Amino acid sequence: MEKNTLPGAQDLEIPWHLRFRGDLEKAFSGHFRDTSRTMIITSSLVMLLVYLAAFLLEWYVEADVLHQTWRARFLAVISLCGVLLVALHPQYGRYQQPVIALMALVTAGAHLYMGIHVEHALSHTYFFIVFVAILLMATIFRVTLQWALPVTIVILLGSALVLLGSSGPSHDEAVVVLSYLASLSVITLAGMYFHERLQRRLFVSEQLMALHRTELHDANLVLSHQASRDSLTGTVNRRGMDERLERLVREYHRQERDTPDSVAMLLFDIDDFKPYNDTYGHQKGDEALARVARVPQDMIQRARDFVARYGGEEFVVALWGTKLEDALVFAERLRTRVEKLGIPHPVSRSADVITISIGVACTNADHYSTDELISRADRALYAAKSAGRNRTAATEEDGTVRLLSP
């Protein structure tokens, strides 16, 4: 069974460390990846153009330095292509955060290397690209704070070791660059912290709204089911029958008249049910109603067909796309199965067990209203009961009633 990842009320307060509990954190991580995927793809393509522009600028300023910078630049481009590859293939989504973090480390390291070993008119700008690597990771490429913070610390420590331990820039220049990197990194991470906190709060709010919509929808379905079901027999109640039967007949009326579909109605009731109640009591009577109602419910197989309690001991079976002869076959099978239940009924006038009488009618081109259909089925049921009960009768298209031999 799938675990529920939706939050409860205790998750509305976002923890200071920006980590949810259990499956909720996994859900947020997936949401975070999905929402940032397009931005990562676009930003990666833009950064590739930026690298191309930097290459052209170096070539314009001093072409001889290209043989010193191309390896470091190539590593940075490869790492950026790795980010683009992961973003283009959603199945690699779990690697998105570490690959972006690795890209930031490679980019910062490559430009620190170039800042120390390459000498030309714009070589000092390489140190500021280190901050750009942090900025890209934390904002444009959107990693979470749990990745951005340790990677930023590693980059700053690496920058301090390189700048203070090399013979490239002077000590004062190194301190200025490091102060610049540290202050802007702190500002960037602070902004990122509050931005991610806001994102997590919005995520929780959306999940709660989705949960409430689902709960409301489920509650409406339950209420709708309860409002249209008979609590004793589990069949459709009278209100539900009117709505569903009207819908079936309306569909029949809209279809082409040369199609074979029609709506068949079986109206049946339990023979001599009042004496049964008087003999055994209402509790036994309710049990008998439920057992009899279960028989046609087990027989119907299509979604449009349904069984409804018409009132008291009377029930309706509605069958879509069923001709009169097929409906009569169904009715006889139903009558026989109810009789075979063998529920004792010693005071019945038709048998020593509970039996039913059935009236059958079908829609046709001249008679397609629900009232007419019920009336024709009721006429057939009256004929079946008048002929001795425990039998089936049908109202033909011309209005005549045909009795089937029991």
pLDDT at 368: 66
Q: Summarize pLDDT for 198-248 with one digit per residue, the tens.
A: 888 888 888 778 877 877 777 776 666 556 788 899 899 988 898 889 888
Which long-range contacts link 78-83 to residues 24+ away (Cβ below 8 Å)?
78/106, 79/103, 79/106, 79/107, 80/44, 80/47, 80/48, 80/51, 80/107, 81/44, 81/48, 83/40, 83/44, 83/141
Question: Residue 48 phi/psi, 5° resolution?
Answer: -60, -40
Domains of the chain as residue ranges with CATH: 9-213 (no CATH), 238-403 (3.30.70.270)
pLDDT at 366: 66
Q: Summarize pLDDT for 290-325 with one digit per residue, the tens.
A: 999 999 999 998 888 999 999 899 999 999 989 999
pTM attached to this predicted model? 0.51
The Cα angle at residue 291 between residues 285 and 292, in degrees rounded to 5: 90
260 — pLDDT class (breaks 50, 70, 90): low
Q: What is the DSSP letter of 11?
A: G
